[in-house]
Structure 1
Amino acid sequence: MVDEYILRKNGKKKTDYPTPELKGILEETHGLFVYQEQIMKTASVLSSFTLGDADLLRRAMGKKKASEMKAQREKFLSGAKQNNFKEELAENIFNTMEKFAEYSFNKSHSTAYAYITFQTAYLKAYYPCEFMAALMTTEINTSEKVVSDIRECKEMDIKIYPPSINESGSGFTPLKKSIRFGLNAVKNLGTNIVKNIIDLRESQGDFKNLFEFLGLMDSRRLNKKTLESLIRSGALDEFGFNRATLFKNIDKLQSNVGINNKDANPDQESLFDNDQIYQIPDLDIVDEWDIFNLSKFEIETLGYSISINPLSAVEKKIKEINSKSIMEIKTLKDKSPVTVAVYITSIDIKTSKKNSNKYAYVNFEDSTGILEGIVFNDEILKYEPQLELGIPLLVSGYIENSDENIKLIVNSVNGNEAIKEIKNINLPLKINISRNITLNESKKLKKLLKSILVIQ
């Protein structure tokens, strides 16, 4: 009905009416039933229903009770016959109204919904970043909805930046053609710790370094689990240490939390009111996590791999094996066999109360979309160690396409094949330099990096 309405409204299809007597009722909606009042008026004009009888017809259509509908149909057809309308015409009109009742509203409700729809459609079209940031903020406590919104941002070419201890707000922040991830959406960060971070920034400015941040935080709120989430999500990246190094030294970092927080340490005395002493420990520097663990930890803390697509590392291999994309899979017929290169964004393993067998609901993803999968007991027993978040997998099975809900029934999972023969993985390198450097120093730095890295 929606497509038909649009075609008629835009003059691409002729507007016609089931019978000329209905033109006055259906003219404003281009010959189609849109409002419940139109059903009532049609019953009155064609079958001489009173307003009370017409309202009973409207209610019966809404309830969809077979016995009531049968009685209403007979009454409608009988009245139409008495008014000299052909039985076939009356039958077709009643069938149309009955189908329309599945989605109908009265005019006042429709007006309210349409008003909001036009407002939000306008905002989404002309202020896409602001609209999507506001939408994700309203849904911030429902991870599944936020992840769905992030995918939509991707389709709209809106870049999502990971959380930042200095730049993120409590909710999602719109930027120029991009959005900054909100701190309240990071798992294991409560509203109190987020408020603590933002209050400190507002009163003292951005945190200059990692140890200033740790020292000023309230140790009663920034516990080890919260610090782990900040590290794994990328919220502390701007301080110049890679995530693996921060995680390796988490106990050292934790010992610095709150040492300059006067609220948490009321007995602490200082020579000067604004004196802040940062205990900067020697950190054990280690190599960054590989691309797969970076992705895995982002999915765990953010619900989505924001900064990394784990399949990009095996893109060449995917082309060689000629696997289908999720977008292509969604066009296949029921029971079609498929092999697809994907990574897991969520997994929920359950146990049947009936026979204690395991089964799992899995969300698979690639660059073209998301696909729900089901893994049954035998396959879980065989492949459970490989069912990790963020790891490229070759998954084989068949499509279950019913009621417009497409699922992949998993028969086999191969993680080794998906990551085999990976030699070079390109990762971005960000270096924070605390002072202006000369051109000569810049050349020396580039030469040093070139000796140990592949620079493009």
Structure 2
Amino acid sequence: MKILGPVETSKSIGKSYLQIKDLFVLAKKYGFKCIVLSESHPKSWLRFIYLCQKYKIKPIILYETNNKKFFIKNNEDIKQAIMHYNKLINNLNLKEIDLSLPYVRYPIDGLKKIFKDPESWCVKDVLKYQNELAFIGDEETYYNLKEYTFKEYRVREKNLIDYFKDIKMTDIEKKRLAYELSTVKKLRVENYILTVKEIIEAAAQKGILIGPGRGSAVGSFLVYKLGITKVNPLKYGLLFERFLNEYRHELPDIDIDVDAERRNELIKTLQGNMGFYNVVQIRTYSTMKVRSALKKSEELLGYSTDLQLLPPIRSKENLNKLSNYTNKEKIFYILAYYLEGLETAESTHAAGLVISDDDLRTFGPLEQRSIPILEWEMSDLKLVGVEKFDVLSLDTLSFLKKIEAKEEYENLEDTSNYAYLSMGLTKGIFQLDSRLGKRLSKKIKPKNFEELVLLLAINRPGPLESGMIDQYLEKDAPDYLKDIFPETKGVLVYQEQIMKLSQILGEFSPEESDLLRKAMSKKEKEKISKFKDKFINNATKKIGYAQANLLFSQLEKFSQYAFNKSHAVAYAHISYWLMDKKFKDPSHFFLELIKLKGLDVDIINEAKILGVDIKSPDIRYPHGNFDKTQIILPLYTVKGIGKNIADIFMNCKFQDVEDFFDFAILKNINRNIIELLIKCGSLDYLNDNRKQLLKSSTELLRGRSQELQEIGRILFGDKKKDDLESKIYTELEDYARYDIETIGLPIILTKQQGLSKTLIKKYLNNEKIVFDGYAFREFLIDNSAIMYTKIYNRTLKRIKKLL
């Protein structure tokens, strides 16, 4: 029996360049029947055992600690080693193995030479040392992933059905609930759903904002009545089968959006309720992508190539070209091939939590943190029956709380909100704050909530390129589709529409309709063909053979662009709440948006349209201020001034300039910060002549900065009074320069009287217009807006140039 080992995988980051997936391909190639994995951590163990079973190779695991190697014989030994790794036990009752051979850390000899590592082996090297490894091949092991148990968290307070006993419902609701309950019971997912409910209740316990819902779970009436989601699926015709049906072989996904600033607080609350080591995060790895692999190959080899590689590097198309490459190109490609996918750093899963009834230190390797991290990836955890709970940070929820937006689920039809959105005023609006979102909002011009849902669903390049949007605008769908889907004018937009059509026209069961949807979205031709005849035969009775055949082929193409309506409906609520706040209280909205994202041209222009002026920072309001018609910028919108500096000036009421300088010296605020505060206009209320203030600051701080000035002269020599002083600027020009230097935008120029308000038309309608304003650097400015010259098609009547 050929034995390969001792192997160290690339999950020992920085030590090994042998990815576990390559290990087994090469082991098969060279005829190895046993692999010895020897690492100081258990991070690779689950995947290693699984692949050994798949490739019919005998696995042997050695656990390294304190410069010793311990033999892992079975599941109990795995558990003992993990408890030792997690510092639950100090001593190991395991057999010590004396194996002092070099580690296998490279897939092929070429890589070992490139990395100049004579102390490690590649896979092929081990063939020469079979005698030295023979003794370990006689060791018996029994690792069984099916028997390596994970104890899921159990909800003990109530049974699922108990939550609905005293709730009044209509007959339709009772029927839907009974159907969903039977499916949930049949699939045995009650505990999963109730655990999600506990997470929601823990958030409510702390007043942590949770989103209205996310993904297909929004289609469940049961989940809605439990308070997990907040949107009634019956109101929008959402399908439960998109979320869960009896053909589904995995747990349902109920993803939770949470206020980004309080996600960790929620997790710590769960730890308090369920146990500190019972709620943990999940390990992920940053891996080398195509561009990084090519760059690293170039760096290691000292040359580049003109290979036209289609991502991924390991694709069949690239491999088929290998025989045509020159020798240097082959070396370059093979190196990049083995670097692609290599783990480069450890990360934490953005959303996933594992929740157990047991202390997880007895189950898997943990990185000790305030929220521990289970050091197995999710794909590995599924091998031992672990499912995750996704709790996602959503910045928008934090923003909603700051602007005091109202959660509303009934009154969503304010026509003024839709009128403004249809003008393209999408800045800060969830899911629409992009060029494409602005463009589609102006094109679709939503007039009600259903059309807002549609807008969110098609706000992707795919629908735009597929002709879906033009078909919607031109009302070009067949009449029978318009009758079935009046809300989308007969145009297919949502995944659920595939399901509804297959039920209405194809006479599919709800479960079959979801199988068809899934098969089409994954382009599984064999599965699709099984459904095709049934669909066409039944649909022919209603719309004729030609239409039925055409419709099925259209469904196949459309499935690539279709969007989950349940998800779009839930997220459209968030978009509407933001619209409502923005268009009714724009000053508050934009001030908080500036604090979150910074100032830009779109904010200035949209605020102006909504009757709000953006004013320079004011040191009396270090975190900004607003009223109905204006916003005072926070000090930290100034480049070089952070929130920590702004905080220094909280509750300061300076009587005059000297008062300010005395305070600045007392707080040891450096001269650069003082100059920025003056240039941005934050001291204008004390003295609105910024040039004079800058001069005064030099005189008042001369004594304090004399030493620094002397050092500067020694290092750089005397500064000649040329350039800046020899140029003559008007005060307006100076202030515009100061604005650019400190804030990045010449907002002072928009305050000048006597200029036309023409740029705003350009901003809204993208028209060629007559312009009467200022051209300053890369900007055009008048009373209405600021535009970048590069996106302006100029028909100029008059320009006041500031150069």
Q: Classify the TM-score, shorter chain.
A: 0.5 to 0.7
The reply to whether residue 42 of structure 1 matches residue 497 of structure 2 is no
Whole-Å separation in 2 of the counterparts to 1:123 and 1:298: 29
Residue identity opposite 1:155 in structure 2 = I
Aligned to 2:750: 309
Aligned-pair distance for 1:218? 5.5
CA deviation map 1:384-421 (0-9, x unaligned): xxxxxxxxxxxxxxxxxxxxxx5769xxx9x9x8549x
The reply to whether residue 82 of structure 1 matches residue 537 of structure 2 is yes
DSSP 3-state at the match of 1:217: helix
Aligned to 1:130: 588
Whole-Å separation in 2 of the counterparts to 1:303 and 1:101: 42
Matches within 5 A, 1:392-411: none
DSSP 3-state at the match of 2:749: coil
Given that 1:17 and 1:26 are in contact with CA atoms closer than 8 Å, whether structure 2 keeps it comes out as no
Q: Residue 153 and residue 324 in structure 1: after superposition, are their counterparts in 2 closer, same or farther (change >3 A)?
A: closer
Residue identity opposite 1:81 in structure 2 = I
Aligned to 2:42: none
Corresponding residue to 1:182 among 628, 634, 640: 634
Aligned-pair distance for 1:289? 4.5
DSSP 3-state at the match of 2:639: coil
Given that 1:211 and 1:256 are in contact with CA atoms closer than 8 Å, whether structure 2 keeps it comes out as no
CA deviation map 1:47-80 (0-9, x unaligned): 35566664455456657xxxx3888887776444
Matches within 5 A, 1:319-398: 326=762, 330-331=766-767, 362=778, 364-367=780-783, 371-372=787-788
DSSP 3-state at the match of 1:160: strand
Given that 2:608 and 2:784 are in contact with CA atoms closer than 8 Å, whether structure 1 keeps it comes out as no
**TM-score with structure 1 length normalisation?**
0.54
Matches within 5 A, 1:29-428: 33=492, 35-47=494-506, 54-55=513-514, 57-59=516-518, 68=523, 78-83=533-538, 84=540, 85-90=543-548, 91-92=550-551, 95=554, 98-99=557-558, 102=561, 104-107=563-566, 109-140=567-598, 143-144=599-600, 147-166=601-620, 168-170=621-623, 172-198=624-650, 201=651, 206-217=653-664, 222-255=669-702, 289-309=730-750, 326=762, 330-331=766-767, 362=778, 364-367=780-783, 371-372=787-788, 418-419=800-801
Given that 1:215 and 1:256 are in contact with CA atoms closer than 8 Å, whether structure 2 keeps it comes out as no
Residue identity opposite 1:301 in structure 2 = T
DSSP 3-state at the match of 2:672: helix
Unaligned stretches of 5+ in structure 2? 1-439, 452-472, 706-727
Whole-Å separation in 2 of the counterparts to 1:325 and 1:29: 30
CA deviation map 1:61-116 (0-9, x unaligned): 657xxxx3888887776444311243443325753785586362241x22321221
Larger radius of gyration: 2
CA deviation map 1:340-363 (0-9, x unaligned): 777567x8xxxxxxxxxxxxxx55
Residue identity opposite 1:308 in structure 2 = L
Whole-Å separation in 1 of the counterparts to 2:761 and 2:496: 47
Whole-Å separation in 1 of the counterparts to 2:556 and 2:583: 34
Per mean C-alpha deviation after superposition, the further-off stretch among 46-55 and 291-300 is: 46-55
RMSD: 5.0
Residue identity opposite 1:196 in structure 2 = I
Whole-Å separation in 1 of the counterparts to 2:570 and 2:738: 43
Whole-Å separation in 2 of the counterparts to 1:234 and 1:103: 51
Given that 1:326 and 1:365 are in contact with CA atoms closer than 8 Å, whether structure 2 keeps it comes out as no
Aligned to 1:382: none
DSSP 3-state at the match of 2:631: strand
DSSP 3-state at the match of 1:234: coil
DSSP 3-state at the match of 2:505: helix
CA deviation map 1:236-261 (0-9, x unaligned): 11113511101223322335889xxx
Residue identity opposite 1:169 in structure 2 = P
Given that 2:750 and 2:784 are in contact with CA atoms closer than 8 Å, whether structure 1 keeps it comes out as no
Whole-Å separation in 2 of the counterparts to 1:299 and 1:56: 57
Aligned to 2:135: none
**TM-score with structure 2 length normalisation?**
0.33
Unaligned stretches of 5+ in structure 1? 259-286, 333-337, 348-361, 375-405, 421-456
Whole-Å separation in 1 of the counterparts to 2:546 and 2:445: 23
Residue identity opposite 1:160 in structure 2 = I
Q: Residue 364 and residue 92 in structure 1: after superposition, are their counterparts in 2 closer, same or farther (change >3 A)?
A: farther
Given that 1:34 and 1:104 are in contact with CA atoms closer than 8 Å, whether structure 2 keeps it comes out as yes
